[in-house]
A and B are shown apart, each in its own frame.
Chain A
Amino acid sequence: MSAIVNSAGKVVDFVDQRITASNWLKRNIRKVFPDHWSFLLGEIALFSFIMILLSGVFLTLWFKPTMAHVVYEGAYLPMRGVGMSEAYSSTLEISFEVRGGLLMRQVHHWGALIFVAAMSAHMLRVFFTGAFRKPREINWLIGVVLLVLAVAAGFTGYSLPDDLLSGTGLRIIEGGMLAIPIVGTYMSSFLFGGEYPGDDIIARLYPVHILLVPGLIIALVTAHLMILWYQKHTHWGGPGKTNNNVAGAPFFPIYVAKAGGFQFIVMGVIVLLAATIQINPVWLWGPYDPSVVSAGTQPDWYVGFLDGALRVMPAWEFYIFDHPVSMSVLIPAILLPGIILTPLALYPWLEQKATGDTREHHLLDRPRNVPVRTGIGVAFIVFYVLLWIAGGNDFFATILEIPVNWITWFIRIGIFVLPPLAFIMTKRICMGLQRRDRDKVMHGRETGIVMVSPDGEFSELHAPLSQAQAYQLTWHERQLPSDPGPATDANGIPNPNYRAKRAQARLSRFYFGDVVQKPTVQELEAAHHDGHGGSDSARDELPSGQQ
């Protein structure tokens, strides 16, 4: 043991004498990382990305990114004699002639699906807990860009094997591009090196997939983590956990062991998936042929919502000076991503408008305590999931044995009806939960024991909460809607900022008008004197053993 310490000491000494490392290490080696399962979603994304990088490097050793025409003479008999591109034939080679090649292909693909899924889940966690608030807006923006880059990495990777599914995906991209007014045909011509599909596109997507996009992802992930490190992680409030401190386990050794361990767990789970569940069996799809299509043609899940939007959009095309403008393609394929991404990226500032709050926030919100934000989030999830279902409408039609046209119509209507409904329901549920918390604080926990008073009145016995339990339900901020103040001052002179203030107050009322507030000191005392809770109240009770 001491030998290890000695050699570690030597390393530290060597580095310290050159770059003063001790100074930095001393401040950081015991850095605090709070523990909560939801804080690990981002780690799943990071660790699956590392797995993707490793397996990806392995795949590049065999993959031939060229559309040169070959007649297959490889090991997979059912394809012998079929004309195909070298990209596809080298994918077959990796699958059937390289030991562990199929495993690494499957690791790469499962890793990619999990990478984007974990990023999405991480983003939802950050949204619902308000972790995007000042000072973390930059990291939120970086996160949005990372999500877009991850989808770009996924889609270019999906396209590389040049199988029937990937080629059909590219064809749809081309169709979307052509719909762009004025420059559409030129964009397509530059991308594909002339007419679709040409024989350039795989060679062009390859550097984007293995160099450009991963390079950007690595750079942004680095920035993301450096900012996280510098700002310290957010944490949940609770006894002793405030906006001015951070409580948790030290970076070294607990966090290093846990995160390091989790890295291997994530890798292990991905490899186990790759070992047992087949993914993207391109040898069954066949080589790409632009005149051929398969029933059940789908993109990977993270592009599914765009494909779904294309599917449910009704036909709409009009002419401007004899030039067609294909809204049935433009809206879902070109405008929709912008319509989703812009408010997503700007959300921290939108909410700041409502709260008028410019302070730093390091305590997370429980989703129930911000019913409007939670409602917006759930409405977005419903919107997204509906589009995702639309993207697999034929798949679901087959599974459920109902006409695909019904699903399309259900989504066409549902996309407008269900998200607002989800918003209202979620907001109501949150308020109900808040009310329950408030009742618990005021009257204690329901025991299920019913008492009959001498007068014959029935009441349920409530057990008081400990101070720690009560604090757990009341540490959050009391968020009140803002008041625009009078339109004119005492002298009848109009306030020049009144309109802006009124607008802000309306937004604030929308956000916080219906929030069920935690009790005030007076309310709490009144409740205790009324006495469901008996004589001893949370305030009277001393915390056991501590302080």
Chain B
Amino acid sequence: MSTHNVNPNGDEHAVVPHGEHAVVPADPIADPGLHHDELRLTDVDDKAERRAERQVAGMFTLASLLTVAFIVFYVVVGIHPDNPENGVNIGDVQVSNLTLGLTLGLALFLLGAGAVQWARSLMTSPEVVHQRHELRSDDETRAATIADFDTGTEETGFGRRKLIRNSLLGALALLPLPAVIMLRDLGPNTGGTPAQRKEHTIWAEGVRVLTDVTFMPIRAADLEIGQLVNAMPATFEALPEHGPERINERAKSPVMLVRMLPEDIHVEPGRENWGVDGILAYSKICTHVGCPISLYEQTTHHMLCPCHQSTFDLSDNGKVIFGPAARSLPQLPIAVDSEGYLIAQSDFTEPVGPSYWERTR
């Protein structure tokens, strides 16, 4: 604080950073000093004062009335149906929300506005000036504090008694470990590493492809060019209704079936038998961060993710053509069974969903 040059009045506060070289010119205009607020209408005119008083009191009174109105509306506007079978009448909820909200909101608002208006127009409020004091303690106090601290440290012998010090520090350093260790069981203990659990879905050889929601098997012959079917594996139906298994599979197994003209499809070597007459099955889980996608444009064969606009070309092995996703959409190899229904040839040949460290190329 000693290097800068502020004069004691604080009138001229010119900065000379790192001090010595620049010469800072003085300020051109002197401080004329605080000018006090002019009187308000309410300070001089009795009528205006009484009007302001009525205004404020009026707002407070209205607030009370509105609070009472809130209670009345709470009681009068029912939302519970006479017969639970009928369910709620949403119009009732609308009226309830509007009346309760308007009365409570206006009551609060007027209460606040009344208080503010009171302060603005009636409270006599000279502008007050307080001096600031430097926040730093004076040198004497600082020296005394440091001396006290040194004395205390000396009395403990913290510096000298190295054995005590080191064993204390060691004990303290170890203490957080139980807190961390105890979080271990947040994750499961069985079923392999998290990455291993990601590698498989309930798709397997011969598992029928079913329409989602309605769970009907799908005949290859039933699909038209341009068709999209949101589908799940037949094994999904057998999963228990409660517990995480079912919802976890919904996050991994959903596929979409599309059918396009076979000549429109560009097949990657090794995938020649993965489709059935132009019917292809792809994972619905985006390879970017995992949104379920099925925004299929049958004219362009593009599949768009609504979350971040990654776009995949389903006629070209699910390759990325726009957006942040870096990997193609996994394809599920499908075939038809003896009754003509679509089945999976196997599980997905790669993990579905976003990239993660343990995943291999």
Contact = CB atoms under 8 A, between A and B. Distances in A.
Q: Do A and B touch directly, given a CB cutoff of 8 Å in the complex?
A: yes
A268 B17 contact: no
A189 interface: yes
B29 A103 contact: no
Interface in B101-118: 101-102, 104-118
Contact of B113 (A176, A265, A394): A265
Interface in A287-341: 289-297, 307, 310-317, 319, 322-326, 328-329, 332-333
B74 A99 contact: yes
Interface stretch (B45-53, B143-151, B261-269, B286-294): B286-294
A394 B100 contact: no
A240 B33 contact: yes
Contacts of B322: 405, 408
B306 A394 contact: yes
Contacts of A393: 309
Interface in B211-236: 212, 230, 232
A325 to B, nearest CB: 8
Given A80-B87, A474-B28, A521-B25, A546 B33 contact: yes
Contact of A324 (B32, B77, B90, B361): B361
A102 B93 contact: yes
A250 B28 contact: no
Contact of A171 (B77, B230, B232, B291): B291
A141 interface: no
Nearest to A178: B356
Contacts of A355: 15, 17
Interface string B181-203: 00100111001011101100000
B250 A271 contact: no
A295 B358 contact: no
A432 interface: no
Interface stretch (A112-120, A190-198, A372-380, A451-459): A190-198
Interface string B324-361: 11110000000000000000000000000111111111
Contacts of A326: 326, 354-355
Interface stretch (A123-131, A149-157, A477-485): A477-485
B250 A547 contact: no
Q: Is the interface of A mostly helix, strand, loop or mixed?
A: mixed
Contacts of B361: 319, 322, 324
A357 B16 CA distance: 8
Contact of B18 (A171, A468, A482, A539): A482
A194 B307 contact: no
Contact of A191 (B15, B84, B186): B186
Interface in B232-250: 232, 241-244, 246-248, 250
B81 interface: yes
B17 A262 contact: no
B100 to A, nearest CB: 5
Contacts of A76: 87-88, 90
Contacts of B27: 474-475, 478, 518, 521
A175 B21 contact: no
Contacts of B29: 441, 467, 470-471, 474, 524, 538-539
Contacts of B360: 322-323
B1 A315 contact: no
A415 to B, nearest CB: 14
Interface stretch (B122-130, B159-167, B170-178, B270-278): B122-130
3 A-B pairs with least C-beta separation? A275-B101, A175-B289, A240-B34
Given A356-B18, A474-B29, A521-B26, 20 more contacts: A68-B242, A76-B90, A106-B101, A178-B356, A185-B357, A194-B194, A195-B198, A204-B186, A261-B119, A265-B112, A268-B105, A275-B101, A297-B291, A323-B358, A324-B359, A324-B361, A328-B288, A408-B322, A474-B27, A481-B17
17 contacts: A102-B96, A168-B291, A178-B355, A239-B33, A240-B31, A250-B125, A257-B118, A264-B112, A276-B101, A291-B250, A291-B292, A325-B357, A328-B325, A329-B324, A471-B30, A482-B21, A547-B33
